[in-house]
Structure 1
Amino acid sequence: MGIGEALSIGSALAWAGGVVIYTRLGRTLPPLHLNLFKNLLVFAMVVPTVLLVEGARWPALGAGAIALALASGAIGIALADTLYFRALNTLGAGHMGVIGNLYSPLVIVLSFAFLGERLDALQIVGFVLVMSGVGLVSRHDADRPLDRAALRRGVLLGAAAIALMAVAIVMIKRTLEQQPLLWVVAIRLAGAILGMLATFALGRHALLPRGVTLTRGEVGLLLAAAFLGQYLSMILWLGGYKFTEASVASILNESASVFIVLLAWLFLREPLDRRRIAGVGCTLAGLACMLLS
């Protein structure tokens, strides 16, 4: 297993832990505010990390690379994450995994078209197994009843979020390969925060949600979710795309759906039946194919 593959799987696990925590916070904070607060927290974590690891010297980033990183943050975090949280509140943690089925196919298509990447035979087998497993563990059923309108709204929001995430990562793949990882993470986050502030200004939203107060425990959850689901996950996620092909990283990222289902079963008491257990096994077999190729 190469460093890129290891980082991609680690990112999936960290993201899954964050999603489960965000599910609990979503019951208190509106999605737009939740996204802004966690991005501000993560930026406060990333900046000291950059200065500690890379130093205060500005990297040799051209205007084009900076613009791409800022745009990637605005698209892939400010907009996509807000839509994702809204879909998460509607569908639940376990069922959001089905929407994630769109992610790696979209990245593969975009990488084929714009990066010239190709999958070999064993990787294609791994892709099929992973997607089959994810489909098994996250298929919508009657354990969380949803009316048709709510289901349609959640699916559309989730699909839009995943599509924007795919576009945002492919557009900075070359920048990631050529530039310091942590600086790209920091600039991308700055783009996300600027995008969020613009959304608040244009929509005339109050920066602090009315009638919402967080307990000490909820503040702790927000910090934990920001650290796991964004700070750690984002560094590992972008590191995976830096050190391996975007197509491969995206398929390994799909294991997040399995981790979400397992963690949702452990901590949120969402159902885990034989079908989902079979899906976990199928996904792990697919990951093995990807790592052995």
Structure 2
Amino acid sequence: MVPVLLSLLLVVGPAVAQDTQNRPYSLTYHSNGVSKPKEGFPSFQATGYLNDQAFFHYDSETEKAEPLGPWKQVEGMEDWEELSKFQKARGDFFLKNLKDIMGYYKDTGNHTFKGTFGCEIRNDNYGGAFWKYAYDGQDYIKFNTEIPAWIPLQPEAVNTKVKWETEGSVQASKNYLEKECPDMLRSYLQYSRPFLDRQDPPSVSITSHVTLGLIRTLKCVADNFYPKPISMYWTQADSVVVAETWGEGPLSENGTYQSWEVVKIPSLSRGPYSCHVQHSSLAQPLTVTWNKSQ
């Protein structure tokens, strides 16, 4: 008999694809349980991600698992009614564990339990996996596939380790992470590669402003690109200028990213200064130049 911990993870999917592109793909699930949610807020939520893109969300208020983004238009990838039943059962099990953990800590009041697990494939082969939980924002327990075993990260988590391992979850958890999860990911890729493999080139712009008449700030912004990896750097006369600050934005509602790099130069400097951007969507690096006459 499959232990309850894993029986709440195995979902039948469509036939497995025989080929994937020569790049990594990941399938990750994020779950969140709250012992005393505010009125109108769910006690349990779960979101599934393919690479960095959320493809479904479930909450205990609606008791529905619903596709997100472009996956709303995909037919046949998942039986959403069955997935809704699965997530409801998993949510009940998740909240029961939260109640048990509160007992180990002798806690009352409102507390949270968060879980994240998933796997990766590279060149169609298993590329790694992880499974971990946090209680009230602190790492609580994680699974080690090499030993294999549940590793307590808090003294109280020893109770959870003993409970789960007594139920026989160790080998089943390892099998799930190393076989069931990659197989599910391959099946999802039959429907999802057009969304995951797309190449949206960045649009690049430079802004300039002077502070206290002494320092000029140049900011190079790359907008609306996908996938996330990008390289940006500044030069003056073929010499690299070290960036003062840099940053990146989260995945936007339209499914693209933003990144920026800032340099500070003397306000009297005429330049030219060039911002160079390299991205997988570009056949060659994109260069945008600023000088004081602009």
TM-score by length of 2: 0.27
Higher strand fraction (1 or 2): 2
What TM-score results when the alignment is normalised by the length of structure 1? 0.27
- Larger helix proportion, structure 1 or 2? 1
| Larger Cα-atom Rg | 2
**Greater relative contact order, per chain length (Cα 8 Å cut-off, separation 6+):** 1
